[in-house]
Amino acid sequence: MGEIVRPRVPKKPEISIAEREEISKKYQSVRRWLHDKGEESRYTYARYMILFTRITGKDPDQFLAWAKTVDPLDVQDLINQTAETLPTKSIQFNFKIEMRSFLHANGYNNLPKARLSYTLKEWHRAYRREEIRKLLSYLDSPIHKLYVYMAVESGLRARTVLALKWRHIQEDFDKGLVPVAIRLEPEFYQDDNGLKRKSAGFTFLGKRSVALLKEAVGNGLLKPNPNSFIIDRSYSNIFKVVDRARKKARLDPSLSLNHSLRKYFEDALDHSKIDIDKKRLIEGHFGDTRAKSYTGREWSDLSDFYSKAYPQIDVDAGDPELETKLVDWQFEKAALEKKIERLENDKTLEDRIASLEHKNKELMIYMLAGTQGFVPLAPEKLHQIPTQDLDKALGEYVTRLARKGAQKNKKEGGPFYKLGLQIGKHAAEPAQRG
């Protein structure tokens, strides 16, 4: 096979949503490839195929048809040579894997056995708070600033942030709640093999992201349609813009542009000292925690833990330790208010019981007074009369009435006579026990 021409990748290889949707609709081979993939994977796979088409000049169907007519080694050579035009080793590695998966999904299994491997060249540390502030100061576009804030405050990976749509945040955003829960579909957490190795977390957006979102909606920069992407930018665009800002800010070049933002988030959760299982649930680390089988994923519960951690997460916090104390005080205040409310409810119950006891005593005194008439007593006077004394007096009174009733009707077997015997018998029992 002749040497292919490897044109230089443009500085801004913009890949729009329209392009990604078009390639999925236009080519049956791509639809077959993507039909069982999650939204985040469809975004990534389509992006790689568009880059392949731009660089080689072959659309997906042409690539597949060509592969079936040439030596499999030539096919692998084309994939490898195309990958070499991409900017980083990690992107090149992923590109090779996805192109092979495209061919495999379309019944082409003749490629030579791959010996693909990627070794992490160096450990990437987390951003520091002041470094993120400096990075933000060199980003001019509100959308690019929003991307950084969303990545920092959610801890989501770059491609997951770019896959977020308005429907994922709309429930809390429309209610004006802060923090805003990011409610993702199951495909973001699991695949056919169960939980994903790199799963999204059950996480939130904090007040900085929410403020920028409201501002962007108010300015008409963003339209909150449920199926619209919040950050309508390609991964390559975000990568280049953030990289340019990092260079202008003269930040440490060893910082990973996106992964170091996630590490900042994880470090912030560590410093907040929230419950370890809740921390891992928010991060998306399910493998070694009870969160893997956690069934109580109520957002309100997790929201409290996220709120407690937020002073450590907040890039613009003046004094995280002081703000943490303020948040703790607010939670203590809320707990105290709930306790006071419970006590007030208990007091209300006590008042109701006292009222019923008051009425019960009035009724007993009324019956004892008989024809002599009943004179109402003040509550404090009634309270001084022991209830058991009234019970005993009323029992003796009923017993006397029953006996009188029996004497008035001596006729054996008469209905009043029998009734009097029964009343006298049962009414006398408590009086005799007293």
**Domain containing 223 — which CATH number?**
1.10.443.10
Lowest mean per-residue pLDDT among 136-145, 151-160, 185-194, 196-205: 185-194
Q: Are residues 255 and 218 in the same domain?
A: yes
Q: How far is CA 265 from CA 126, 155, 278, 323, in A?
A: 8, 5, 14, 17
End residue of a domain, out of 317, 333, 368: 317
Task: Please report the pLDDT score of residue 156 as a whole number.
Answer: 93
- Rounded Cα distance, 248 and 134, in Å: 9
Is the separation of the CB atoms in 306 and 297 below 8 Å? no
Closest CA to 158 of 257, 283, 291, 292: 257
More confident residue, 173 or 342: 173
Task: Please report the pLDDT score of residue 10 as a whole number.
Answer: 40
289 pLDDT more than 50: no
Task: Please report the pLDDT score of residue 126 as a whole number.
Answer: 92
Q: Are residues 101 and 223 in the same domain?
A: no
* Structural domain includes residue 324: no
* Structural domain includes residue 119: no
Task: Please report the pLDDT score of residue 207 as a whole number.
Answer: 94
Task: Please report the pLDDT score of residue 291 as a whole number.
Answer: 45
Which range of 86-95, 141-150, 286-295, 416-425 scores highest in mean pLDDT? It is: 141-150
- pLDDT band with cut points at 50, 70 and 90 for residue 328: low
Is the separation of the CB atoms in 265 and 153 below 8 Å? yes
More confident residue, 56 or 404: 56
Q: Are residues 59 and 98 in the same domain?
A: yes
* Structural domain includes residue 323: no
- Rounded Cα distance, 246 and 13, in Å: 19
Mean pLDDT of 395-399: 70
272 pLDDT more than 70: yes
Task: Please report the pLDDT score of residue 7 as a whole number.
Answer: 44
* Structural domain includes residue 28: yes
More confident residue, 29 or 15: 29
* Structural domain includes residue 237: yes
53 pLDDT more than 50: yes
* Count of the separate structural domains present in the chain: 2
384 pLDDT more than 60: yes
More confident residue, 3 or 344: 344
210 pLDDT more than 90: yes
Q: Are residues 178 and 306 in the same domain?
A: yes
Q: Are residues 286 and 220 in the same domain?
A: yes
- pLDDT band with cut points at 50, 70 and 90 for residue 356: confident
135 pLDDT more than 90: yes
Q: Are residues 85 and 35 in the same domain?
A: yes
Task: Please report the pLDDT score of residue 300 as a whole number.
Answer: 80
Is the separation of the CB atoms in 66 and 108 below 8 Å? no
Task: Please report the pLDDT score of residue 415 as a whole number.
Answer: 57
- Rounded Cα distance, 100 and 63, in Å: 12
End residue of a domain, out of 292, 317, 342: 317
- Rounded Cα distance, 401 and 370, in Å: 11
Lowest mean per-residue pLDDT among 116-120, 123-127, 152-156: 116-120
Lowest mean per-residue pLDDT among 243-247, 293-297, 325-329: 293-297
* Residue 128 dihedral angles phi and psi, to the nearest 5°: -95, 160
Task: Please report the pLDDT score of residue 9 as a whole number.
Answer: 42
Task: Please report the pLDDT score of residue 260 as a whole number.
Answer: 92
Q: Are residues 296 and 231 in the same domain?
A: yes
Closest CA to 65 of 29, 16, 24, 31: 29
What is the DSSP code (8-state) at residue 186? G
Task: Please report the pLDDT score of residue 169 as a whole number.
Answer: 96
231 pLDDT more than 90: yes
- Rounded Cα distance, 423 and 398, in Å: 8
145 pLDDT more than 90: yes
Q: Are residues 49 and 149 in the same domain?
A: no
Give the structural domain span for 41.
Answer: 17-105
Which range of 92-106, 133-147, 241-255 scores highest in mean pLDDT? It is: 133-147
Query: What is the share, in percent, of the chain residues with pLDDT greater than 70?
Result: 68
Task: Please report the pLDDT score of residue 6 as a whole number.
Answer: 45
Cα 30–chain centre separation = 32
pTM > 0.85: yes or no: no
Tokens linked to 11: 């500085």
* Structural domain includes residue 5: no
Q: Are residues 81 and 137 in the same domain?
A: no
* Structural domain includes residue 64: yes
Q: For the packed helices 299-313 and 276-283, what is the interaxial angle rounded to 10 degrees?
A: 90
